[in-house]
């Protein structure tokens, strides 16, 4: 489903599509000025000093050929920057998330990916392997800051995995993926590549298998702001994500889910 919330119309239509497919693409959900502010905010943070617990780049000459050491992803930047926090709680994002969920949401995580040319991709995985939301599932809002396609490391989702249980991962190929976990797909299912324009937002649930291609372009970054939310009815989450935030910005702590699940491990990141 494409379009902003205003163009799509009834929240019930968003909810039905999301429940059926496990994902939807909201084209142009964030306006150009909002995308510009997000881009400028993160480039300002990137140009500044390292941020303990959030961002620890390595000088380019010390990267040993791994460009992602110079441009690592930022983790939980909303905890150190007011503008990022404002976008994590942006009304248009929250309206879309809550339309998909059919209930209020709590903000659990913010991230930013720079993904410069030459960067590895991210192996296929499920978000709730890490967030461990119970009951129900988390939801991601993946905001394209640059044009995103297969050449510069765009996303791929796997339709048909939205209703699966958590799949136990194996170790990914470190030459292809910057993260260590990878899941195998059930027979007959294939990844679907998605092309996104700046301001488009991909919303998807916590068991939808997804990943990204390597950035094989010569000059194009593939920057993206990613937010994760959980239903307000959630009773547990991995303790690493506490405190969560309500729409009004109040902090909420959920009991920590330390059960390793079907894979027999406790996953916090």
- What tens digit of pLDDT does each residue of 35-94 get? 999 999 999 999 999 999 999 999 999 999 999 999 999 999 999 999 999 999 999 999
Rounded Cα gap, residues 41 and 253, in angstroms: 27
Average pLDDT along the chain: 93
Cβ burial, residue 60 (10 Å; 0-12/13-18/19+): exposed
Three-class SS state of 193: strand
Backbone region of residue 115 per phi and psi (left: phi > 0; alpha: psi in -120 to 50; beta: other values): left
Rounded Cα gap, residues 60 and 164, in angstroms: 41
Domain boundaries, the chain: 5-263
pLDDT tens for residues 238-269? 999 999 999 999 999 999 998 766 786 544 43
pTM: 0.93
Give strand pairing partners of 231: 105
The mean pLDDT value for 107-117 works out to: 98
The whole-angstrom distance between residue 210's C-alpha and the CA centroid of its chain comes to 10
pLDDT at 4 over 50: no
How is domain 5-263 classified at the CATH fold level?
A: Jelly Rolls (2.60.120)
Quickly tell me which residue has 């000093």 as its tokens. 49
Which residue, among 123, 195, 207, has the nearest Cα to 160 in the 3D structure?
Answer: 207
Q: Return the DSSP state at 148.
A: B
pLDDT tens for residues 131-188? 999 999 999 999 999 999 999 999 999 999 999 999 999 999 999 999 999 999 999 9
Side by side, which strands form the sheet with 210-212?
122-125, 210-212, 155-157, 192-193
Under the banding of pLDDT at 50, 70 and 90, the label for residue 11 is confident
The full DSSP string for 205-269 is: ETTS-EEE--B--SS----EEEEEEEETT--BB-GGGPSEE-TT--EE-PPB----GGGTS----
Which residue, among 79, 14, 31, 33, has the nearest Cα to 52 in the 3D structure?
Answer: 79
pLDDT at 109 over 90: yes
């Amino acid at each position: 489903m494409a379009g902003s919330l205003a163009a799509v119309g009834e929240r019930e239509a968003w909810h039905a599509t999301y429940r059926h497919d496990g994902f939807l693409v909201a084209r142009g959900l964030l306006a150009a000025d909002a995308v510009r502010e997000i881009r400028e905010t993160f480039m300002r943070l990137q140009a500044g000093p390292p941020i303990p617990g959030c961002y620890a780049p390595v000088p380019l000459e010390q990267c040993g050929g791994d460009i992602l050491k110079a441009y690592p992803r930022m983790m939980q930047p909303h905890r150190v920057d007011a503008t990022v926090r404002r976008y994590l709680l942006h009304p248009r994002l929250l309206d879309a998330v809550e339309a998909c969920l059919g209930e209020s949401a709590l903000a659990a995580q913010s991230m930013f990916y720079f993904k410069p040319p030459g960067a590895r991709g991210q192996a296929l995985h499920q978000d709730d392997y890490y967030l461990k939301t119970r009951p129900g599932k988390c939801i991601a809002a993946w905001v394209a800051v640059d044009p995103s396609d297969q050449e510069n490391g765009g996303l791929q989702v796997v339709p048909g995995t939205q209703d699966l249980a958590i799949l136990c991962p194996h170790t990914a190929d470190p030459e292809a993926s910057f993260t260590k976990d990878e899941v195998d797909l059930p027979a007959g299912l294939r990844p679907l590549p998605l092309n996104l324009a700046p301001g488009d937002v991909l919303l998807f649930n916590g068991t939808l298998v997804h990943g990204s291609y390597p950035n094989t372009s010569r000059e194009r970054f593939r920057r993206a702001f990613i937010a994760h939310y959980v239903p307000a009815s959630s009773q547990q989450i991995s303790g690493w994500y506490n405190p969560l935030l309500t729409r009004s910005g109040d902090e909420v702590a959920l009991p920590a889910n330390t059960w390793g699940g079907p894979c027999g491990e406790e996953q916090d990141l």
